[in-house]
């Protein structure tokens, strides 16, 4: 708890009592996060919540952070040096997401600001959605839905109506085998798939349990029927899937991306899809979000799209919100937040009980 500069004398019936004047830390919550986390934050802190569905504009963030001890942020808030410059009081940014490419962690660390995220809880939900996308594009589910609704289903059954590609027994290439990529690979085992993976770190457990084979990226792209991307957005992964790499893929292959949009060069992807270099793509993430409605990719039937909802199950989003609260409570109680992204920050500003 933050200590006030003065102690207060409070009169009760019998005597004067010395009360240590402590105020709750102020937390700016950048959206109505699920109740399970919000309730704790409201109970434990002096919380202000941005009430709108759309994210707070940067000016609002700049204004609010002047006077808060913490921000509970989402992916949509850019928390950069500009924000840190106007927030001398800010001690922690608690993000409700596993990814934190919207936060300049280096700048945060330099200024002694702790950064936390919500890993783990969303792994299975996000892996499930990668598979939803994969199955959806391979078996043309969204196209089939439109076909029926738009009155195009005029013949009861036809041997080649909306034929897709088999998933069972095919080859999947998992790009990035952190928690989510590994969970995607595990599911592939149930589909009797050959599993290739590309990662800077070898994963002997995947090799042993699933028979997964570590290959270089070019080999993975050449040999896979489904390429599923699960890398964080870093300088090194920006446009990792570019024109040259799309060109290596099989004409019958599909690209799945539910990591970060800028990992795939969308212009090159459009070319690949329209020139027949690959069979289709399924995307939950885009270079710009929300993606403009005139994004040319949205005109293609062999593209399945979703609005960045891979971790969006009621259960998981509630748990994520709770983790945000837990990270904040731990920090202000002087404990290491369970999901600290920048542990080196403790050298800059050691933990101390703040309430
Ligand atoms: C969602 O994209 C996340 O990083 O949690």
In which band, very low, low, confident or very high, does the pLDDT at 2 lie, cut at 50, 70 and 90?
A: very low
Residue 7 has pLDDT above 80, yes or no: no
Helix orientation angle between 179-190 and 123-138, rounded to the nearest 10 degrees: 50
Give nearest CA residue, ligand 1 atom 1: 97
- Phi and psi angles of residue 318, each rounded to the nearest 5 degrees, phi first: -65, -45
Residue 99 has pLDDT above 60, yes or no: yes
124: CB partners within 8 A, 6+ apart: 183
- The catalytic position among 66, 289, 349, 353 is 289
Q: What percent of the chain stands above pLDDT 70?
A: 94
What spacing in Å lies between the alpha carbon of 255 and ligand 1's midpoint? 19
β-strands 2-3, 22-23: how paired?
antiparallel
Q: Are 95 and 122 in contact (CB under 8 A)?
A: no
What spacing in Å lies between the alpha carbon of 79 and ligand 1's midpoint? 16
Among 119, 31, 126, 25, smallest CA distance to 74 is for 31
Q: What percent of the chain stands above pLDDT 90?
A: 93
Among 348, 317, 338, smallest CA distance to 97 is for 317
Give nearest CA residue, ligand 1 atom 4: 99
What spacing in Å lies between the alpha carbon of 122 and ligand 1's midpoint? 8
CB atoms within 10 A of CB 185: 25
What spacing in Å lies between the alpha carbon of 126 and ligand 1's midpoint? 9
Q: Are 321 and 27 in contact (CB under 8 A)?
A: no
For a mutational test of ligand 1's pocket, the pick from 96, 98, 105, 179, i.e. the residue with the most ligand atoms closer than 8 A to its C-beta, is: 98
What spacing in Å lies between the alpha carbon of 332 and ligand 1's midpoint? 25
CA distances from residue 30 to 41, 96, 179 in whole angstroms, order as listed? 12, 10, 27
157: CB partners within 8 A, 6+ apart: none
What spacing in Å lies between the alpha carbon of 147 and ligand 1's midpoint? 32
What spacing in Å lies between the alpha carbon of 282 and ligand 1's midpoint? 17
Distance from C-alpha of 149 to C-alpha of 32, rounded to nearest angstrom: 35
Q: Which atom of ligand 1 is nearest to the CA of 260?
A: 2
Q: Ligand 1 within 6 A of 122 CB?
A: yes
- The catalytic position among 308, 317, 322, 326 is 308
Would you list the DSSP string of 76-140?
T--B-HHHHHT-TT--EEEESSS--TTB-HHHHHHTT-EEE---STTHHHHHHHHHHHHHHHHTT
Active site annotation includes 289 = yes
Q: Are 264 and 270 in contact (CB under 8 A)?
A: no
DSSP state of 241: B
User: According to the model, what pLDDT value does residue 82 have?
Assistant: 97
Q: Ligand 1 within 6 A of 113 CB?
A: no
Distance from C-alpha of 315 to C-alpha of 128, rounded to nearest angstrom: 14
In which band, very low, low, confident or very high, does the pLDDT at 21 lie, cut at 50, 70 and 90?
A: very low
CA atoms within a 13 Å half-sphere pointing along the CA-CB vector of 15? 3
Q: Ligand 1 within 6 A of 324 CB?
A: no
Task: Find the mean pLDDT for residues 57-62.
Answer: 96
Give the model confidence (pLDDT) of 246-290 as tens digits. 999 999 999 999 999 999 999 999 999 999 999 999 999 999 999
User: According to the model, what pLDDT value does residue 355 have?
Assistant: 78
CA distances from residue 74 to 70, 125, 320 in whole angstroms, order as listed? 13, 18, 11
Give the model confidence (pLDDT) of 325-355 as tens digits. 999 999 999 999 999 999 999 999 999 998 7
Distance from C-alpha of 294 to C-alpha of 348, rounded to nearest angstrom: 46
For a mutational test of ligand 1's pocket, the pick from 74, 99, 262, 317, i.e. the residue with the most ligand atoms closer than 8 A to its C-beta, is: 99
Q: Considering Cα of 136, then 230, then 232, then 272, what sign does the dihedral take?
A: negative
User: According to the model, what pLDDT value does residue 90 have?
Assistant: 98
Residue 323 has pLDDT above 80, yes or no: yes
Task: Find the mean pLDDT for residues 129-140.
Answer: 98
Distance of CA 30 to the CA centre of its chain: 16
Q: Are 115 and 72 in contact (CB under 8 A)?
A: no
- The catalytic position among 203, 230, 260, 317 is 260
Q: Which atom of ligand 1 is nearest to the CA of 96?
A: 5
Q: Ligand 1 within 6 A of 98 CB?
A: yes
Residue 266: which H helix or E strand, with range?
A: helix 266-274
DSSP lists the bridge partners of residue 2 as 23
Active site annotation includes 260 = yes
In which band, very low, low, confident or very high, does the pLDDT at 46 lie, cut at 50, 70 and 90?
A: very high
CA distances from residue 351 to 160, 206, 322, 337, 354 in whole angstroms, order as listed? 65, 37, 21, 10, 9
Task: Find the mean pLDDT for residues 173-181.
Answer: 98
- Phi and psi angles of residue 7, each rounded to the nearest 5 degrees, phi first: -95, 150
Residue 11 has pLDDT above 80, yes or no: no
Q: Which atom of ligand 1 is nearest to the CA of 258?
A: 2
Give nearest CA residue, ligand 1 atom 3: 97
Compute the mean pLDDT over every residue in the chain, rounded to the nearest whole number. 94
Would you list the DSSP string of 322-349?
HHHHHHHHHHHTTSPPTTBS-TTHHHHS
The two tokens of residue 195 are: 């599993």
Q: Ligand 1 within 6 A of 311 CB?
A: yes
User: According to the model, what pLDDT value does residue 22 have?
Assistant: 66
User: According to the model, what pLDDT value does residue 15 have?
Assistant: 36
User: According to the model, what pLDDT value does residue 1 have?
Assistant: 43
């Amino acid at each position: 708890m933050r200590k006030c500069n003065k102690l207060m004398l409070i009169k009760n019936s019998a005597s004067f009592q010395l009360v240590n004047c402590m105020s709750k830390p102020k937390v700016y919550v950048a959206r109505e996060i699920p109740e399970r986390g919000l309730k704790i934050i409201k109970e434990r802190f002096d919380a202000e919540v941005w009430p709108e569905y759309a994210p707070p504009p940067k000016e609002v963030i700049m204004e609010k952070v002047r006077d808060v001890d913490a921000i509970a942020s989402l992916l949509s808030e850019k928390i950069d040096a500009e924000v840190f410059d106007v927030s001398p009081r800010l001690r922690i940014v608690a993000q409700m997401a596993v990814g934190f490419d919207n936060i300049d962690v280096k700048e945060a660390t330099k200024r002694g600001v702790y950064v936390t995220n919500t890993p783990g809880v969303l792994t299975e939900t996000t892996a499930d959605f990668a598979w939803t996308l994969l199955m959806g594009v391979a078996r043309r589910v969204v196209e089939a839905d439109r076909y029926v609704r738009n009155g195009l289903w005029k013949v009861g059954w036809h041997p080649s109506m909306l034929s897709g590609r088999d998933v069972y027994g095919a080859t999947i290439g998992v790009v990035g085998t952190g928690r989510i990529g590994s969970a995607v690979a595990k599911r592939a085992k149930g589909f009797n798939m050959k599993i290739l993976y590309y990662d800077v770190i070898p994963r002997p457990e995947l090799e042993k349990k699933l028979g997964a084979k570590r290959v270089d990226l070019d080999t993975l792209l050449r040999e896979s029927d489904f390429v599923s991307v699960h890398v964080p957005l870093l300088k090194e992964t920006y446009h990792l899937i570019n024109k040259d790499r799309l060109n290596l893929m099989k004409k019958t292959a599909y690209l799945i991306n539910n990591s970060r949009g800028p990992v795939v060069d969308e212009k090159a992807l459009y070319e690949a899809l329209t020139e027949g270099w690959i069979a289709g793509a399924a995307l939950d993430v885009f270079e710009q979000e929300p993606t403009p409605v005139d994004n040319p990719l949205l005109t293609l039937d062999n593209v399945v799209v979703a609005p960045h909802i891979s971790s969006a199950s009621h259960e998981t989003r509630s748990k994520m919100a709770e983790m945000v609260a837990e990270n904040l409570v731990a920090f202000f109680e002087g404990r290491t937040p369970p999901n600290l992204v920048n542990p080196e920050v403790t050298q800059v500003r050691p933990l101390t009980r703040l309430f």
